Homo-oligomer: A and B are copies of this chain.
Amino acid sequence: MYNLEKLSTLLGGKIKGDKVQEITGLAPFFQAKEGEVTFAAEDKFLAKLNETKATVLVVPKLKEYLPNKIYIVVEKNPRELMPILLKFFKKEILFPTKAIEDSAVIGKNVKIAPNVYIGHNAIIGNDVTIYPNVFIGQDVVVGEGSILYPNSVIREFCVLGKNCILQPGAVIGSDGFGYTKVDGNNIKIEQIGRVILENDVEIGANTTIDRGAIGDTIIKKYTKIDNLVQLGHNVVVGENCFIISQVGIAGSTQVGDNCTLAGQTGVAGHIKIGDNVILGAKSGITGNIASNQVLSGNPPVNVKEHLKIKASLKKLPELIKKIKKLEKIK
C-alpha cells in the first residue's frame, strides 16, 4: 500500500477529492483497477476521465472534476512526472543471497540442475524442468510442466503459464527502452511492469521480451516465438500466433490472434494488428492493420501486389530512360 499524501507531495501536487486513502499501485489509464492511481496528460485521456477505474488521477488543472474520484492536481505535464511516479511505485528488489532462496516455493517433481538461481518468493509449479545457469527472479511464477533451457533468464515479478518453454538464452522481463531528457542527458525511466506468458507459450533462443513500463507485456496462449525476436514494453501478442525469427515489435503494439509475422519484420509502436493477419518476411509496419489479411512489404500491401512491386522495381532504371525518351518526343 502506498500513501497518497506522500505521493502528492513528491509530485508537487494538491489533493482534490472527498477522502484521503491508501493506493494499491500504479496502472495504465484503461487497465487501472479500483484503488490504483493513473495519470492523464493528453486530451485523449482527459476527455475520458470517466472511463478509467482508477481511484486516484494525476492530472493538470481541469475546468471541472468528476465526483467519486480523487485527484492529484499538478503544475507540470503529468507525463513529465512519470519518472517520479515510476520510482515511487517500484517495488524493492531483494538481492540474491543463495542459489535457491529459502522463500522460494518448489512444486513436486521439479528438476533443478546445478548452477540454477531461484529467487525470493518465486513459485515453481509441479513438473517444471530447469537447466543449468537459469535465472529465476524474485516473485516469479513458473507454471507446471514448463521447461527452462540453459542460460534463460526470467527477471523479477514475471509470470509463466503452464507448459511454457524457454529456449537457451531467452530473456523475459528485461527493462523496456524508456528514457527522458534531463538537462540534455538521457535519464532512465524505471520499468515496473511485468511480462506475462500464458499457457503453452514457447520463446526462442536469445529472444528478448521487455517488461511493461507500467502494466504488463502479454503473450497469449499457444503463441510460439522464434529465436532473436524483440518485443518491446507493453506489447500484447494474441493467441496462437507465430512470430518468426528476428522480428521486432516496438512498445505498446497489439497483435491479434492467429497471426504470423514472418522473419525480420519490424512493427512500429502503439499500433494494432488485427486477427488472422499474415505479414511477409522483412515487412515494415507503421500503421494499424485490419484483420484477415495477407500483406507484405514496406509499406505493406497485398502479397500478390507486393510480388508485382518487386518485379517492377527491377524495371525502374529502364523506366526512367523510357520517360526521358517520351518527354523528348512530346
- Mark A residues whose CB is within 8 Å of B: 95-99, 111, 113-115, 117, 129, 131-133, 135, 137, 149-151, 153, 155, 165, 167-169, 171, 174-175, 177, 179, 184-186, 188, 200, 202, 204-206, 208, 210, 221-224, 226-228, 230, 232, 240, 242, 244-246, 248, 250, 263-264, 266, 268, 281-282, 284, 286, 297-299, 301, 305, 308-317, 319-320, 322-323, 326-327, 329-330
Q: How many copies does the complex hold?
A: 3
Q: How far is the CA of A256 from the CA of B133 in the complex (A)?
A: 36
Q: How far is the CA of A298 from the CA of B210 in the complex (A)?
A: 28
Does A169 lie within 8 Å of B242, measured CB to CB? Answer: no
Q: How far is the CA of A153 from the CA of B184 in the complex (A)?
A: 30
Write the nearest CB–CB distance from A302 to chain B, whole angstroms: 10
Which chain B residues border A240 with CB–CB below 8 Å? 184-186
Does B246 lie within 8 Å of A266, measured CB to CB? Answer: yes
Does A186 lie within 8 Å of B309, measured CB to CB? Answer: no
Does B174 lie within 8 Å of A150, measured CB to CB? Answer: no
- Further contacts, 16 of them, CB under 8 A, given A96-B131, A228-B230, A299-B314: A95-B111, A95-B129, A117-B132, A132-B135, A150-B153, A174-B227, A186-B222, A226-B230, A245-B248, A246-B266, A282-B284, A312-B317, A316-B316, A319-B319, A319-B323, A323-B323
Which chain B residues border A314 with CB–CB below 8 Å? 299, 301, 305, 309
Does A312 lie within 8 Å of B316, measured CB to CB? Answer: yes
Write the nearest CB–CB distance from A138 to chain B, whole angstroms: 11
A/B interface sample: 11 pairs, CB < 8 A: A113-B117, A117-B133, A151-B171, A153-B169, A165-B175, A171-B227, A263-B266, A299-B314, A312-B320, A323-B323, A326-B326
> Which one of B115, B202, B221, B264 contacts A266 once the chains associate, using CB atoms below 8 Å?
B264
> Which one of B129, B133, B206, B313 contacts A299 once the chains associate, using CB atoms below 8 Å?
B313
Closest-by-CB residue of B relative to A118 is B132
